Amino acid sequence: MKGKEKILPGGYLSPKKGRWKAVLLALLLAFTALFGYVYLGIAMQHTREIHWSPDYAQEDISSLLYKAERTDEDYKKIYEQTGLTKLGVEGLIEQRMYTRILRIQKSYFATYEKTRKHFAPLTYAEYIDGTTEFAIFQDGDILVTDSIFCSWFRYGHAALVVDAEQGQTLGAVEIGQKSAWNRVSQFKGYAKFLILRPKVSDEVKAQVVAYAKENLVGLPYQLTTGIFTAKDADSLLGTHCGHLVWYAYHRFGVDLDSDGGRIVTPQDLANSPNVELVQNFGFDPETLWR
């Protein structure tokens, strides 16, 4: 009779009914496997090192800072002791900020309490209970961190310095928020950060910053930019942090995407051959974000 379940001899369901039960069971198993995979990613991320600190002795570098000229070996030693490259060191020395370099060294060797905070579905940010001081910024510099992850994906965050004197950046922070001005100090609480400087002239950097201020403020956060829409579209419907920085430079012929993929991540920026490192804090200095 229509509407009643057909039972075969021996109490078995009809083949049609059995197929539906098999499909439902397969869907349930697939969902369970996906759920387990996502949470396994979170568990594996929790085994990673939140913040790197030197496992070697802190040394007195004062004599190196006060030299009239420094050698490559001097810069190597200062980098090991502070996370500052030649760019970072000379930027501070030009302003006679010797004690600031020594404070950066102290924080580089410090021991911190490390925490992970859940702030969105399946998403965590990593922090330390202290801060360091920054090198001298220039307009057009880039800040990146890997201290944000969702399940297996450690996507981090990136921002473009648009007013170095006032310590202001431009970035796209998270879903539901539009790209906006922020402060470089936003990165101080993260467990790790890198300051990067694109290998372009000051004139190009000034053009990039002016363009970003005029055209890249107030864009919706869109994680899929580059997947369902062209990442280099003339008119943007949305952006995300890595894409915003890349797009600003791309408009002036500078490609900072190290792997050329459809999505530009902060890690792509960190590994671009078209940037130089200014300061490292919290990353292993040998590998950085690779």
Please list, in sequence order, all residues whose beta carbon lies within 8 angstroms of the beta carbon of residue 120, skipping any fewer than 6 positions away. Answer: 150, 174, 175
19 is a domain residue? no
Amino acid at 70: R
Domain extent at residue 172:
62-281
Is position 36 within any domain? no
What pTM value is reported for the model? 0.88
Tell me which residue has tokens 């490292």: 280
Tokens of 175: 């879903």
More confident residue, 194 or 32: 194
* Pick from 199, 148, 200: nearest CA to 171: 148
Q: How confident is the model at residue 153 (pLDDT cuts 50, 70, 90)?
A: confident
Q: What's the pLDDT at 18?
A: 67
**How far is C-alpha 37 from the geometric centre of its chain's CA atoms?**
23
Decide if 182 is inside a domain: yes
What is the mean predicted confidence (pLDDT) over 252-264?
96
Question: Which residue type does 90 have?
Answer: E
In a domain, 119, yes or no: yes
Residue 55 included in any domain:
no
Identify the residue with better confidence: 213 or 47: 213
Q: Is 6 part of a structural domain of the chain? A: no
Is 229 within the bounds of a domain? yes
Number of domains in the chain: 1
Residue 290 lies in a domain: no
Task: Give just the sign of the alpha carbon dihedral 273, 277, 282, 286.
Answer: positive
Q: Which two tokens stand for residue 285?
A: 């200095």
The CATH number of the domain where 196 resides is what?
3.90.1720.10
